A = this chain, B = another copy of it.
Amino acid sequence: MPKIVDHDQYRKELLSKCFDLFAQKGYGSVTMRQIAQEMGVSTGTLYHYFSSKEALFEQLVEEISQQDVSAALAELEGKETLSEAMTALGKYLVKNEDYFIKWTFVWVDFCQHQDSEKLRHQSSVFKRANQRYQQAACSFLGVQDQVLASFVLSFVNGLILEKLCGDETIDFVEQCTLLGKMLTAYLQQNSTIQN
């Protein structure tokens, strides 16, 4: 079944081309014509691959949420100390700032357009994505504490959100360094207590 493979592959290629468009304008302000033009196809072809604007957007979100987080994490892992890891994290955020901001725009947009019913149905995508992030965070931190992982994820999300909102004073490296110090202090204290 080579056709189907091609079809599906082409579909994903098309999707990747409209990520920026949704990130910059938001679901409600992007038109199917703009998407088609960005993809380099006609509107007819667009509808040949996606049944509706909504379906296209959902598939886009599914696609980007399935992007392998482990590959990215590989770049961050293998640091000897927490301090080094945090510096690496900060630099990583700086390097991919634009992408993370776009990703956040699309993600928030998607959440906004999910009414509660659909949220149940779609939650599998969300949950799987979230689990991957949590696992990656645990692996990265070298701990198994889910709450701690959530803490770090929230903090990182928050940093990006601040940047996205135009706060140019925030410094990813500085903030991650601070996180490193706090984590170190916290973990030391805990281990001391536990000992």
- 9-residue interface stretch from A7-15, A68-76, A77-85, A162-170: A162-170
Please count how many residues in chain A sit with their CB below 8 Å of the partner chain's CB atoms: 52
Q: How far is the CA of A29 from the CA of B30 in the complex (A)?
A: 10
Would you call A161 an interface residue if the criterion is a C-beta within 8 Å of the partner chain's C-beta atoms? yes
Would you call A128 an interface residue if the criterion is a C-beta within 8 Å of the partner chain's C-beta atoms? no
Would you call A158 an interface residue if the criterion is a C-beta within 8 Å of the partner chain's C-beta atoms? yes
Interchain nearest-CB distance for A53 vs B (Å) = 11
Complex copy number for this chain: 4
Would you call A178 an interface residue if the criterion is a C-beta within 8 Å of the partner chain's C-beta atoms? yes
The residue in chain B whose Cβ has the minimal distance to the Cβ of A120 is B166
CB pair A186–B175 under 8 Å, yes or no, is no
Interchain nearest-CB distance for A46 vs B (Å) = 15
Would you call A154 an interface residue if the criterion is a C-beta within 8 Å of the partner chain's C-beta atoms? yes
Task: Write out the residue numbers on chain B whose beta carbons fall within 8 Å of the beta carbon of A108.
Answer: 104-105, 108, 161, 164-165
Task: Write out the residue numbers on chain B whose beta carbons fall within 8 Å of the beta carbon of A94.
Answer: none
CB pair B130–A151 under 8 Å, yes or no, is no
Task: Write out the residue numbers on chain B whose beta carbons fall within 8 Å of the beta carbon of A24.
Answer: 112
